[in-house]
Structure 1
Amino acid sequence: MRAMKETVSATGEPVESPIPPAPGAEQYPSLALVNSVIALPGGQFVDLLGTPAAANQWLVERDLAPVDAGMREMCAAQLRALREQIRSLFDSRVAALPALPAALTAVNDALTRVPTAPLLKWDDKDGPYRAAPHPTTEIVDHALATLAADAADLLTSPDAERLTACGSAPCNRYLLRHGRRHWCSTRCGDRARAARAYARRTRPESG
């Protein structure tokens, strides 16, 4: 794969997406995660998880972490790694190909990293009770588990039939298709139409 130039802020500040969320990304955080690295014309890209501060902001915007989580590079790297494994599963689903075992393992590992049921606790005064584990000390693990569960839900839901890749090169985003639309944004749709029009104008006449 050709290396892409990074356009993340050199100061490490969070960056804004240059285009609005793709259809379905606000409903499925895992789709937003896969789309958090955005290919741009000219071989450049924007990585919304490119720095710890940017990754922290991305999680905060989806209620997956507090503002003062203090994200470290190791944690941001875990988030980016899960992004690539979920992208691999989306690739396989759209292409109707078998999933890579490593991608399945990564998602299942994230799913089972934290308890999913309220645990039994015991208060000295009031006795036994059930409570979910507090995520403060396991913020990243809880975020990864939530995103992995969301990806599993999407891939096994009826919406998976509408999962498709944006049809406008060089865009690398995924979307949930509505009707015949295969573009993730108006900008990509305009670019695809312009490319087709240019191809028609420059096509040599037969005969």
Structure 2
Amino acid sequence: MSEIATGAARHTVQAAPPPPAPGAERYVALDFANSDLALPGGQELDLLGSPALATEWLVARGLAPAGAVLQEVCAGRLREHRTQVRALLSSQIGALPAPAEALRAINDALTSVPSAPLLRWDEAQGLHRAQPHPTDQVLDRALALLAADAAELLTGADAERLAACGSSPCRRFLLRTHAARHWCSVRCGDRARAARAYARRTRPEAE
């Protein structure tokens, strides 16, 4: 069961999010940006919409340890970070200057905690690398990892493949697989084609 936001009210419905958009399996920052979903019928689905949902999302992606518990203030910081990541993705797609506020947010997250796996040793594994999971820095570490992944996406070879889904009302991002029309899912593609077909059928004939 998922939480749906409709205006100021929230209620739960039996709804599953769409499959990950192309590229989201490679870049967790893209998956993160797409966690705020617009659904047909004017509904919205926020996968980070409550502390429990935000915790579940982070744990499922290895960005927080099992048993982590986020409070609303942390979930709110996570959603604000998503807003800044989305702003940077949008500016990249639109060939616009990167918003200064978004740049500050990403750089602050990058420098807040170590985001690289640390070198450790124990008798069972010997030398190995492992991500730190300090209980008092769960969110800061997650934000740093998300920021690092977003920076990699925005400055790497895949940046030119970034696109926004072309099917209204969807607002997900994706990596294009070709230069033609781009949708984030089969469902969005079918909806866009159906909308075009309907527009053709109802278009007044030229006199």
**TM-score (norm. length: structure 1):** 0.85
Q: 1:5 aligns with which of 4, 7, 10?
A: 7
Q: 1:83 to 1:132 in 2, by over 3 A?
A: closer
Q: State the shift of 1:132 in Å.
A: 7.0
Moved more, 97-106 or 179-188: 179-188
Unmatched 5+ residue regions in structure 2?
121-128
Residue by residue over 1:48-67, the C-alpha shift from the partner in whole angstroms, topping out at 9 and shown as x without a partner, is 00010100110011101122
Unmatched 5+ residue regions in structure 1?
122-129
RMSD (Å) for aligned C-alpha atoms = 2.6
Contact 1:52 1:72 in 2 (8 A): yes
Alpha-carbon separation, structure 2, partners of 1:131 and 1:151? 21
Structure 2 residue aligned with 1:112: 111
Structure 1 residue aligned with 2:169: 170
Q: State the shift of 1:44 in Å.
A: 1.2
Alpha-carbon separation, structure 1, partners of 2:200 and 2:130? 63
What are the equivalent positions in structure 2 for 1:76-91 lying under 5 Å apart?
A: 76-91=75-90
Q: State the shift of 1:70 in Å.
A: 1.2
Structure 1 residue aligned with 2:125: none
Q: After TM superposition, where is structure 1 displaced by more than 2 Å over at least 4 residues in a row? A: 3-11, 15-18, 115-121, 130-137
Q: Check if 1:187 corresponds to 2:187.
A: yes
Alpha-carbon separation, structure 2, partners of 1:118 and 1:195? 47
What are the equivalent positions in structure 2 for 1:143-162 lying under 5 Å apart?
A: 143-162=142-161
Structure 2 residue aligned with 1:62: 61
- Corresponding residue pairs, total: 194
Alpha-carbon separation, structure 2, partners of 1:132 and 1:59? 14
Identity of aligned residues (%): 62
Contact 1:16 1:48 in 2 (8 A): no
Contact 2:65 2:133 in 1 (8 A): no
